[in-house]
Amino acid sequence: MSYRIIFHIDMNAFFASCEIAENPKLANKPIVVAHNDVFRKSIILTASYEARKFGIKTTMLTGEAIKLCPELIIVEPNFDLYHKYSQTFFNYLYTITNKVEPTSIDEGYLDVTETCEKINAIELAKLIQKTLLEKYKLPVSIGIAPNKFLAKMASDLKKPLGITILRKREIDKILWPLPIGEMHGVGKKTRPRLENIGINTIGDLAQFKNIPLLEKTVGKAMATYLIERANGIDPSEVNYNSIDDLSSLSNSHTFRYNVININDIKNTLKVLTNTLSDRLIKRNLIAHTVGIQIKYANFKLINRSTSLENGINDNHELWHVIEDLFDDYYNGNEVRLVGVFATRLTDSSTQIKQYTIFDDMEQLSKVSKVERILNQIKKQFGDDSIKIGYYQYKGENE
């Protein structure tokens, strides 16, 4: 086949679904997974679709939810149970194809291009959905598309138990009318920036003509990424190898205790980013995809990444991407682990650095001088003799 067939499979109301699978008496009832404290101040981790009909949402306080639905059933979270069902979910997906990319505890991408040489894509999706529901009691929605972005968008269009095909020729009718905040890759930090320059729908973004303004608003790399995705273009592959394999580099840190202070989390991410930059530069590599990992105190793990037109290895450029990803996707809960990773690595000598009118040339010159001094020290006294810490250069975090 000259085209790809990508599935995005997303378990519906995952924690709640696991509880219902264990206790069928909870089926078709408004339930939430949350700590049932006497003061009703705990945060809802997941709400069943029956509960959502009352306006109950994830991260809402249980006290507020009970006001909306007095018959609400609160179930204490059981993270060992959720891990068991997550493992069951992915073990089953690996029986379909080995090209599986988990992106969270309850969702992932499959490249089924070769598999669909023997079975129709829709029939395969129906088989997967039926098996997961009937055998394991896990409802899922499946998006089918020629690339990852469209597959992800498709799986979000119909929940629960949806199967949606999204073709490039259909994006002007299906995707473009959607609010810009519903676009995968546009988080809570990026959305208001786009709305401030008149981009309110995905269609507005796809047809946006003032590219210099967009680049000034979100950065050149992100501007290219967003324009491509809004037009249904996504060249990224399903990464079914570990992010620690030879084609990628990663760093992570597990906190000794759960952390919720954003400065502490960001400072840790900065150190990880600086180390990642050192490793890339030492190997003469640049990364065309940069991402973050966040594991929350409830053990929910997410991976989010951005693909870049031009590869990078500079710690300032890497941090700009990492910080934006964190600001977009961090949900405000306690964090147990954070990580950064770089994939789609190529030889840095193959790319010429291109500067734009938006770059601060004076600051770039200062940074270059500092980096030359650091490299000289490392060369003379060893790689571990000096490292960049939280506050990288003067002018940052003042």
Which of 50, 101, 107, 317 is catalytic? The answer is: 107
Report the distance separating Cα 285 and Cα 346, nearest Å.
5
CA distances 87 to 105, 147, 228, Å, are 9, 25, 34
Report the distance separating Cα 56 and Cα 34, nearest Å.
12
The reply to whether 64 belongs to the active site is: no
CA distances 108 to 7, 72, 124, 218, 252, Å, are 8, 30, 16, 27, 21
CA 47, 52, 57, 60: dihedral to nearest 10 degrees?
-80
CA distances 248 to 280, 303, 325, 336, Å, are 10, 14, 18, 23
Asked if residue 74 lies in contact with residue 32, where contact means CB atoms within 8 angstroms, the answer is: yes
CA distances 302 to 163, 207, 294, Å, are 23, 31, 5
Of 322, 293, 319, 321, the closest CA to residue 309 belongs to: 321
Residues near 280 by Cβ (< 8 Å), separated by ≥ 6?
Answer: 249, 286, 287, 313, 342, 345, 348
Three-state SS at 61: strand
Asked if residue 7 lies in contact with residue 143, where contact means CB atoms within 8 angstroms, the answer is: yes
Q: Which residues are catalytic?
A: 107
